[in-house]
Amino acid sequence: RLHCRLLLDCSALVQGVTQPRRRPEVAPATFGFVERAERWNSRACMIGFFALLIVELVANRGLLDMLGFRIGAGLPFEI
């Protein structure tokens, strides 16, 4: 059995690249992709997805079929 270990030192800068003099100061986000909003969005998405699965199971029809789209009839044009 052959064991191979590869150790890399990624802390060294590439030649010609310099570090910035100071770290940019950015105010914490209060709108948009913030952690709290994303958590609520994902929870609402999970609730909606499972609610749709339950509705489809009870109705024994898919969402597009319930909305009136023809399902399984193929495309409406000739190729």
Residue for token pair 């409406």: 76
Q: Over the stretch 16-62, which tens digit does the pLDDT of each residue have?
A: 888 878 888 888 888 888 888 899 999 999 999 999 999 999 999 99
User: Smallest Cα–Cα separation from 52: which of 64, 39, 41?
Assistant: 64
* Domains of the chain by residue range: 35-66
With CA atoms as reference, report the closest residue to 66 among 55, 51, 79. Answer: 55
The structure's pTM equals: 0.54
Residue-wise pLDDT tens digits, 64-74: 889 988 777 77
State whether residue 41 is helix, strand or coil.
helix
